[in-house]
Chains A and B, each alone.
Chain A
Amino acid sequence: MKKLLLLLPVVLVLLSTSTALASGKPERVFAPIPQPLVVSGSCSFDIDVAVVKNNEYFINFYDANGNLVRQLVGGSLVVTLTNLSNHHSITVNVSGPAYATFNADGSYVQKYEGLSAIFLPNLFILTSGRVDVEYFPDADPVILRMSGSQRDVCTLIA
């Protein structure tokens, strides 16, 4: 019977998720960060992104057909960024929040607010304030808007 009890919450979660998708109601799910995570191409060295604390959740919004159209992420996220060439590191609070709007062509715009870590080709910055980035399925991302302050990770852990 213990196994059945364990299964029950899982089944309930799946049921609630499918109901959310079918009805277009938002769902709240944990926002995992894959580990290990190594960022290449942003600085002249590779950077390991290690999760110290992750209590972040997505709130996903779907259209009537079950397509993900908008996503909020918030909570608490602390990571350690380590230069894999010399092991210099910093630990930073990058809890966001952030908001993504998905387009039918596969592109999406991510609006970063608060404290964020943004890595793009040839750029890795810690930001405080609003930064909008448009991501494409087959092209480099583009910064659409930038305000607040930025810190250069490549210099901080050089």
Chain B
Amino acid sequence: MRRFALAICIALGLLAFPVTAAAKAPTMLHYTQNPPDLTLSGVCAFDITIHSTAQTTEIDYFDGSGILTRIYFHSTEQDRFTGTGGSLTTLPYTYNLELRFDSSGEFTGFVVSGVILNLRLPDGSLFLSAGRINVLAHPGISFAFVPDLGHSGNLAAFCAALA
């Protein structure tokens, strides 16, 4: 679930180009994202590289003045993790991501809910993380493995499989 940074970029882009007052109805976009690979430190004892693909539906909501107030993303993502000794590929998993803004464009909400990760470990067991993340409570986060509220997969087993 690495859409955090991309979502912010998309949102900032929209804020930089405010729509006209006539465009008050929500707009819907469908797209596929193949972001550059991400290297993460601190999750396992070694760095892991993440390659992601996500298919997203985005709905942008505006107030009566045409100011962007909320963005809703519905994404189905698949990731490949590579560690020092192996790699793991997730099953496609689905989540919602919602951004809310005040009148000055500041974030007032940034919440993810859904499956955070869904993959099968080499021993056949399921790594399932699902629930809700308040992204604003995790400044600088670019990828999540476990939710704030919900069910968390076994990170130790995940790292062992990549070692």
Q: Say whether A and B bind each other.
A: yes
Instruction: Please report A residues at the B interface, Cβ cutoff 8 Å.
Output: 120-123, 125, 134, 136, 139-147, 150, 152, 154-155, 158
Known contacts A123-B118, A142-B94, A145-B113; A150/B150 CB under 8 A: no
- Cβ–Cβ < 8 Å partners of A136 in chain B: 74
Whether the Cβ atoms of B114 and A142 lie closer than 8 Å is yes
Whether the Cβ atoms of B131 and A146 lie closer than 8 Å is yes
Q: How far is the CA of A121 from the CA of B74 in the complex (A)?
A: 15
Whether the Cβ atoms of A139 and B91 lie closer than 8 Å is no
Q: How far is the CA of A146 from the CA of B148 in the complex (A)?
A: 11
Contact of A152 among B74, B93, B95, B126 (CB under 8 A): B126
B78: nearest residue on chain A (CB-CB)?
A122
Whether the Cβ atoms of B96 and A142 lie closer than 8 Å is yes
CB of B76 within 8 A of chain A? yes
CB of B132 within 8 A of chain A? yes
Whether the Cβ atoms of A122 and B128 lie closer than 8 Å is no
Contact of B126 among A120, A146, A155 (CB under 8 A): A155
CB of B11 within 8 A of chain A? no
Contact with A along B85-96 (1 / 0, CB 8 A): 000000111111
Whether the Cβ atoms of A123 and B151 lie closer than 8 Å is no
CB of B124 within 8 A of chain A? yes
Whether the Cβ atoms of A140 and B125 lie closer than 8 Å is no
CB of B68 within 8 A of chain A? no
Contact with A along B115-133 (1 / 0, CB 8 A): 1001010001110101110
Whether the Cβ atoms of A146 and B150 lie closer than 8 Å is yes
Known contacts A142-B113, A158-B124; A147/B150 CB under 8 A: yes
Whether the Cβ atoms of B125 and A144 lie closer than 8 Å is no
Whether the Cβ atoms of B95 and A142 lie closer than 8 Å is yes
- Cβ–Cβ < 8 Å partners of A143 in chain B: 113-115, 130-131, 150
Contact of A150 among B96, B114, B151 (CB under 8 A): B151
Q: How far is the CA of A142 from the CA of B131 in the complex (A)?
A: 10
Q: How far is the CA of A158 from the CA of B96 in the complex (A)?
A: 30
- Cβ–Cβ < 8 Å partners of B120 in chain A: 154
B98 to chain A, nearest CB (A): 11
Contact of A122 among B93, B130, B132, B151 (CB under 8 A): B93
CB of B149 within 8 A of chain A? yes
Whether the Cβ atoms of B128 and A123 lie closer than 8 Å is yes
A127: nearest residue on chain B (CB-CB)?
B151
Known contacts A122-B92, A125-B128; A144/B151 CB under 8 A: no
Interface residues of B in 62-98 (CB under 8 A from A): 74, 76, 91-96
Of the listed residues B76, B115, B118, the one surrounded by the most CB atoms of chain A closer than 10 A to its CB is: B115
B90: nearest residue on chain A (CB-CB)?
A122
Q: How far is the CA of A5 from the CA of B119 in the complex (A)?
A: 58
